[in-house]
Amino acid sequence: MAKIDDIMKMTGFSRTAVSKALNDKDDISEATKKIIRDAARELNYIPNINARNLRSKNNNVIALIISSPSAESEKTNTLYPLLMGVNKAMAAQQYELALYIIDSKDQAAKSYVAFCRERNVKGAILVGIKTDDDYIKQLKNSEIPYVLIDVDIRGTDHMNVVKIDDVTAAFEATEHLIDHNHKNIAFINGGKTATVAIDRWEGYQKALAEHGLPLQHDYVKIADFSEEKAYAVTKALFKQHPELTAVFCASDLMALGTMKALDDLELDVPRDVSVVGFDDIPLASYVKPALTTINQSFFEKGNKAADLIASLLKESQDKKIITLPHKLMRRNSVAHNKRSA
Amino acid sequence: MAKIDDIMKMTGFSRTAVSKALNDKDDISEATKKIIRDAARELNYIPNINARNLRSKNNNVIALIISSPSAESEKTNTLYPLLMGVNKAMAAQQYELALYIIDSKDQAAKSYVAFCRERNVKGAILVGIKTDDDYIKQLKNSEIPYVLIDVDIRGTDHMNVVKIDDVTAAFEATEHLIDHNHKNIAFINGGKTATVAIDRWEGYQKALAEHGLPLQHDYVKIADFSEEKAYAVTKALFKQHPELTAVFCASDLMALGTMKALDDLELDVPRDVSVVGFDDIPLASYVKPALTTINQSFFEKGNKAADLIASLLKESQDKKIITLPHKLMRRNSVAHNKRSA
DNA sequence: AGACAATGGCCAAGATCGATGACATCATGA
DNA sequence: TCATGATGTCATCGATCTTGGCCATTGTCT
């Protein structure tokens, strides 16, 4: 394991000269740079990142904190493209990635801030956080710049966020159903605390209101983004409210649960009931009928978040909210409602 | 950012005493340990991992090297559970995870060894490597212990590997079709260089041989683990060989492409043609008909690989090959063949 | 034109980052 | 007196940073 002293001995230059030459500083002549570089190559020199980061606090490590990944994430597969997006941006900008996956059940888990501080993390990207999460407090007190994905904490808008316009997306999804003559539209939401859940709930309400449709609280259920719960909720819902002709689910996975429940109830999708999902996970286009849903790119989310944190580190700037595009994917789970109101 | 000197000044003990107390060494009295720990808490002390790792070479960093993830991986979603498996084992054993994703198209990518050496990585887990990969050479020359996932380089059995028994699994898959009276069974493989492809090809041949079925080289195609290519290959195959009644695909994604092609050819699965896949990705159980396939746990693969590398670091031991279980999932894409041979 | 200061390119020496490890030291009790 | 336990001293890991020295070139002034 060659170190800088070895190549210093070999070339006769000082430690400093070697270091500077290898880092391509401009107060070393090209001639000696070449000598030093050649020696380094010959000795198979690789800098020790610990020593470097210890000395120069300019270490370029950015943390990706993934909070409480549910069992569902194996099926939804949103985190993987997100990770790829982050990784690509980081690699392009010479940042190191420190990955920290927090199992919500693990009480002994180190705090986010401890993780970042002990390895001198310069910035962090947080994903999967909830508005009532304990981490929010830690964040505010920490001096580490961070970017949140999909979280936009109401009231405190002094944060960097990458998200889509969930309100509008949910509005469009609901409106899509209304446009197909549906009047009794159920809404199965993921929760109450996740920002995306709050936003989608708002979009649903807006769409109803704008089209003069009454908001029936009985039509709104929570299924914790779980396929199984959505299945159960849907069954109960349609037994009690056979007048329903459409369901908007705040996630594709829940939509799958809903479709399965409808199938078991011998209600045909889309002939009897129309379904719209959210996320456009790979599964959405493969099931039959193919699920109409809101597409968003998790790769882009990760990528943009990494770019944002990188630019934040280069120059301090105002807090920023990046809104990525979404798109309604019209597939085969929505049909025109022929039932009379 | 409190450092050890701050708590040394605060408590009056020496730097060493503080360090030892915080690391719970046994030559510090409990009384002073308590004093020092309290002070540390009060100062919100967090050790600097760079300094620690620089000084004590006992840094517990294990790298997970993901090589050339294809675009397919977003759909197959095998890498994410694998990562979770690795992460869980690492967290349990107090290892740090350094993630290195190599984009095969990126020529400028640092070498695996450089990545590991510069951050003092103690061991590595490699996934997605091919037998003709350049990394193989790097591996042999490196002193860093490593575990390969799904790779078992023929001839050089001096490696640590975590895998399933792909030969037997493919054998069972093929035999499953034979048991359903299929005699003309196509095999769509992923490639020629991936170990899993080689093994599955062997399993297919074995099953035919054992049941006295001739091996028709025309029935065997390569589709690079790609859904689109499998689609194209299947179309060509069945136009040329209408006598085929079954297809064994070396991956689920290819099986999906095959099923789509059969659909376009107006051949019903499983009535006209039976299909068996491999991997049991989430999609497999959602498509219609649900895909009969070989289940394996990628979470377990990652988990066991991490355990193995950890035990390797604790005590040097002989090279080990861990074979994980697999299971044939009988679903709805296979039916009894009624056509006469 | 010659002298002298000022500038700037190139490199060296030594301090330094924050922790740990080897060894010395200093009380004790046996 | 000699282990033994509890702390302190100092060097050390491998790099970067600060400071400053040397030499050659340029500009300015007499």
Write down the pLDDT at residue B104.
64
Whether residue A217 is found in the same domain as residue A200: yes
User: Has residue B149 been placed in a domain?
Assistant: yes
Write down the pLDDT at residue A325.
97
* Under 8 Å between Cβ of A283 and B281: no
Chain A 247-276, CB below 8 Å of chain B: which residues? 256
A117-121, A132-136, B88-92, B166-170 — most confident range = B166-170
Q: Mutual orientation of helices A30-43 and A15-22 as an angle, nearest 10°?
A: 90
Please compute Rg for chain B using Cα positions: 26
Whether residue A124 is found in the same domain as residue A172: no
Q: Provide the CA B222 distance to its chain's centre, in angstroms.
A: 21
How far apart are the CA of B202 and the nearest CA of chain A, in angstroms? 30
User: Has residue A52 been placed in a domain?
Assistant: no
CB-based contacts of B275: which residues, under 8 Å, 6+ apart?
Answer: B246, B247, B248, B249, B255, B258, B259, B262, B269, B291, B292, B333, B334
Nearest to B118 among A48, A103, A283 (CB): A48
Instruction: Output B94 or A155, whichever has higher pLDDT.
Output: B94
Instruction: Give the CA count within 13 Å in the CB-facing half-sphere of B21.
Output: 24
Write down the pLDDT at residue B109.
61
Whether residue A290 is found in the same domain as residue A184: yes
Instruction: Give the CA count within 13 Å in the CB-facing half-sphere of A107.
Output: 0
Q: Which domain holds residue A193?
A: 166-296
User: Has residue A340 been placed in a domain?
Assistant: no
Average pLDDT, chain A: 89
Task: Give per-residue burial for B109-131: e unless 16+ CB within 10 Å, then b.
Answer: beebbebbbebbbbbbbbbbbbb
Nucleotides of C under 7 A from a protein CB: 9-22
Instruction: Output B315 or A255, whichever has higher pLDDT.
Output: A255
Asked whether residue A4's C-beta has any atom of DNA/RNA strand D within 7 A, the reply is yes
Parallel, antiparallel or unpaired: strands B220-222 and B185-189? parallel
User: Has residue A34 been placed in a domain?
Assistant: yes
* Local confidence band at A25 (pLDDT 50, 70, 90 cut-offs): confident
Closest CA to A222 of A193, A246, A243: A193
Whether residue B170 is found in the same domain as residue B160: no
User: Has residue B142 been placed in a domain?
Assistant: yes
- Nucleotide with C1' nearest the B54 CA: D13
Count of C-beta atoms within a 10 Å radius of residue B280: 23
Helix (H) / strand (E) element for A146: namely: strand A146-149
CA distances from A25 to A4, A18, A92 (A): 16, 10, 21
Whether residue B130 is found in the same domain as residue B10: no
Whether residue A184 is found in the same domain as residue A110: no
The CA-to-CA distance between both ends of chain B, in Å, stands at: 78
Please compute Rg for chain A using Cα positions: 26
A49-58, A287-296, B36-45, B109-118 — most confident range = A287-296
Instruction: Give the CA count within 13 Å in the CB-facing half-sphere of B221.
Output: 25
Asked whether residue B20's C-beta has any atom of DNA/RNA strand D within 7 A, the reply is yes
Nucleotides of D under 7 A from a protein CB: 5-18
Whether residue A137 is found in the same domain as residue A172: no
pLDDT per residue, tens digit, chain B (341 aa), is 788 989 988 898 888 899 989 988 888 888 889 999 999 999 989 888 889 888 887 778 899 988 866 666 777 888 999 999 999 999 888 888 889 888 766 655 667 788 888 777 888 999 987 766 666 677 667 778 889 998 766 655 568 899 999 999 999 999 999 999 999 999 999 988 888 999 999 999 999 999 999 999 999 999 999 999 999 999 999 999 999 999 999 999 999 999 999 999 999 999 999 999 999 999 999 998 999 999 999 999 999 999 999 988 887 777 889 999 999 999 999 999 987 65
Note the residue count of chain B: 341
How far apart are the CA of B216 and the nearest CA of chain A, in angstroms? 32
Write down the pLDDT at residue A2.
87
Whether residue B85 is found in the same domain as residue B110: yes
Write down the pLDDT at residue B198.
92
Write down the pLDDT at residue A144.
82
Which positions in chain A touch B282 (Cβ < 8 Å)?
74-75, 77, 283
Whether residue A231 is found in the same domain as residue A258: yes
Between vectors from CA B27 to CA B26 and to CA B29, what angle results, nearest 5°?
A: 90
In the predicted structure, residue A284 carries a pLDDT above the cut 80: yes
B111 touches chain A (CB under 8 A): no
B129 touches chain A (CB under 8 A): no
Asked whether residue B193's C-beta has any atom of DNA/RNA strand D within 7 A, the reply is no
The CA-to-CA distance between both ends of chain A, in Å, stands at: 78
Name which of A74, A106, A269 to mutate to probe chain B: the one with the most chain B Cβ atoms within 10 A of its Cβ. A74
B106 touches chain A (CB under 8 A): yes
51-110 of chain A touching strand D, CB 7 A cut-off: 51-52, 54-56, 58
Whether residue B215 is found in the same domain as residue B320: no
User: Has residue A339 been placed in a domain?
Assistant: no
B60 touches chain A (CB under 8 A): no
CB contact under 8 A, A74 and B73: no
In the predicted structure, residue A337 carries a pLDDT above the cut 60: yes
Write down the pLDDT at residue A106.
61
Whether residue A160 is found in the same domain as residue A128: yes
Write down the pLDDT at residue B260.
95
pLDDT-wise least confident of A35-44, A283-292, B93-102 = B93-102
Whether residue A191 is found in the same domain as residue A224: yes
Instruction: Give the CA count within 13 Å in the CB-facing half-sphere of B294.
Output: 29
Write down the pLDDT at residue A223.
95
**DSSP sequence for A57-100:** S---EEEEEEE---TTHHHH--HHHHHHHHHHHHHHTT-EEEEE
Between vectors from CA B129 to CA B127 and to CA B132, what angle results, nearest 5°?
A: 165
B119 touches chain A (CB under 8 A): yes
Partners of A147 in beta bridges: A125, A160
The tally of domains found in chain A comes to 3
User: Has residue A333 been placed in a domain?
Assistant: no
Nearest to A80 among B59, B74, B97 (CB): B74
CATH value at residue B102: 3.40.50.2300
User: Has residue B52 been placed in a domain?
Assistant: no
